[in-house]
Amino acid sequence: MTVVFADIQAAQARIAGQVDRTPARHSRRLSQLTEAEVWVKYDNLHFTGSFKERGALNRLLSLTPDERRRGVVAASAGNHAQALAYHGGRLGIPVTIVMPEGTPFTKVDGTRGHGATVVIEGLDFTGSTAEAHRLRDERGYVFISAFDDEGIVTGQGVCAIEFLEDAPDLDALIVPIGGGGLIAGCAIAAKAMKPDIRVFGVEAAMYPSFSARRRGEAPKCGGATIAEGIAIKAVGDIPFALADPLVEDVIVCAEEDFEKAVALFATLEKTVAEGAGAGGLAALLAQPDRFKGLKVGLVLCGGNIDARMLAVVLNREMVRERRLIVYRILGDDRPGMLSAMAAVIGGLGGNIIDVVHNRLALDVPAKGAEFDIMVETRDSAHADEIGQALKDKGYALRMG
């Protein structure tokens, strides 16, 4: 079991012209924010929206004529699925994908749209993998792991070749870790091209399987994470063995880090990142001092996020920044009360988004009402200014 740089170079030649070469760009905005010199590899711009295309195509091209005829099966939360479905369709190879319950609709629809048969089975990736293995045994399909496969790892390493060809001066590379295929391939290629480059991984706090395995511990994984693309309970044996000696450290990020990173990619870089795809930036935000002054490469590895979830994340970030705030006011239930409060808020430039009256709460006087007024503000200072003005007018704020 081994993958060497020459294998990755061969994969680059093999898939050339069939997979987009995604851009790598210096980000002035993210550099100013983090005090690092930030470069971003925009793998969200692949046709199927993620980095998975390189590995999937490389693996499919290695199938024998008999294996192509029988078809392939895989378990995937969506990105590996879409990549296999798209390139399998192009090559005339039947593809069946098993997805866990709760997989985002955009990934399910995208996979079906490329012509694959989709089976929804299993509460998580582990359950879906068991079903994929059952279908392999029952119907003779070739099982293609999303990460625990040398052909997949080899194809994913092409990402780092492209990145360092476009940004050869990088000091550090930060790569999200789910099953480990991307970081294993990238670490091999990056270290071969630039031996002194520092490679860091990123995991979600709910699924720290790589870092736990490094410590010799059983990973404690579970929970609903926005980074579902890296919500893997057990890192693959093949990628772990390849990556472990090459990865300097793994940064474990909280949900808030991923949400903030998704929001910053949207607002500063004007690009869409899914939770896992924003992992590199999440790590940079979580430990900025570690990378200050360094030339840092972030692999934005996917952009397949539900529009609804993206809207939720952006609104939650506005709440954190107090640009969206609820003023809860206890007042008299009489005509003109709401318009008077609105005049204070509007007079200071606050934009009222929503108003909810509560007349039934038992801690509110029978002749009173509780008003929850959601207001869009410029920033935290503006939110405080409006809150103080309401207090100065004699309104009793319960929350601000």
Residue type, 4: V
Q: pTM value? A: 0.90
pLDDT of 362:
55
Start-to-end C-alpha separation, the chain: 59
Q: How many CA atoms lie within 13 A of 288 on its CB side?
A: 11
Domain positions in the chain are 1-320, 322-399
Query: Within 10 A of 266 (CB to CB), how many other CB atoms are there?
Result: 18
Q: What DSSP state is assigned to residue 23?
A: -
Residue 288 CB partners (closer than 8 Å, separation 6+):
34, 35, 36
pLDDT of 400:
47
Pick the CATH number of 322-399 from 3.50.50.60, 3.30.70.260, 3.60.15.10, 2.70.70.10: 3.30.70.260
Confirm if 5 and 192 have CB atoms less than 8 A apart. yes
Confirm if 251 and 202 have CB atoms less than 8 A apart. yes
pLDDT of 359:
64
Confirm if 159 and 12 have CB atoms less than 8 A apart. no
The C-alpha angle with vertex 254 and arms to 251 and 260, in degrees rounded to 5, equals 105
In the 3-class helix/strand/coil scheme, how is 201-245 assigned residue by residue?
A: EEEECCCCHHHHHHCCCCCCCCCCCCCHHHCCCCCCHHHHHHHCC
For the chain, 400 residues long, the average pLDDT of each consecutive 10-residue run is 93 97 98 97 96 98 97 91 96 95 81 93 88 96 96 98 98 97 98 98 97 93 90 93 97 97 97 97 97 98 93 94 91 81 94 84 66 93 94 79
Residue 318, phi then psi, degrees to nearest 5: -65, -35
Q: In what order do the strands lie in the sheet with 142-143?
A: 117-120, 95-99, 72-75, 142-143
- What's the Cα-to-Cα distance from 346 to each of 232, 353, 377, rounded to whole Å? 48, 11, 10
* Domain spanning 1-320, CATH class: alpha beta
Measured between alpha carbons, how far is 191 from 164 in angstroms, rounded to an integer? 10
3-state secondary structure of 305: coil
Residue with tokens 């988004």: 353
Q: Which two tokens stand for residue 63?
A: 């199938």
